[in-house]
Amino acid sequence: MDEILEILSKDARISPAEIAKLTGENVASVKKAIAKYERNGTILKYKAVLNHDMVKESGSVVRALIEVSVTPQKNVGFDSIAERIYSFPEVTSCYLLSGAYDLLLVVEGENIHTVANFVASKLSPMENVRGTTTHFLLKKYKEDGQVLKKQAGTKRLNISY
């Protein structure tokens, strides 16, 4: 991966001047490279990784990982069915997998019932969807390479004889 992209993927807030120092390039060429990556779609957006446990009103969103088994379509494979599935507003991410299931979805809803309703009324009845398995996300420990909450020191007492 390009060194500029690697630096930005770890910290999107780093300035072009700081990137220039790290890479040994001049600031103008760093700015030009970043602008090119934004134009050509290599950089899609910049985002903050949030610890939702620290946000008071964050309890209003339920997240689920849904494994989906589908029948690929002739001449288009998985792309057409994946596009129809990821078009639903409840689906925040969609991945093609190897293994027992074909697609992995990250789905968000107001509560467990809205996620269950999405699976029962929108996802499962779709043509070419053969089966689903839903896993509700209970707690995040690490996301996008970032540990969300450091563990406070050990709470176990030392035992000596």
- The pTM of the full predicted model, rounded to 2 decimals, is 0.75
Dist CA 120 CA 68 (whole Å): 13
28 shares its domain with 87: no
> Residue 86, SS3?
helix
CA 21 to chain CA mean position, Å: 30
User: Residue 64 in contact with residue 134, Cβ under 8 Å?
Assistant: yes
> pLDDT, tens digit, for every residue of 87-129?
999 999 999 999 999 999 999 999 999 999 999 999 999 999 9
Tell me whether residue 49 is in a domain.
no
18-45 average pLDDT score: 95
Q: Are residues 30 and 68 in the same domain?
A: no
How does pLDDT run across 114-123, given as a tens digit for each residue? 999 999 999 9
Position 132 in a domain: yes
Angle, helix 16-23 to helix 27-40, in steps of 10 degrees: 110
- Tally of domains in the chain: 2
Domain membership of residue 146 (yes or no) is no
> What is the DSSP code (8-state) at residue 110?
S
Q: Which domain holds residue 96?
A: 61-138
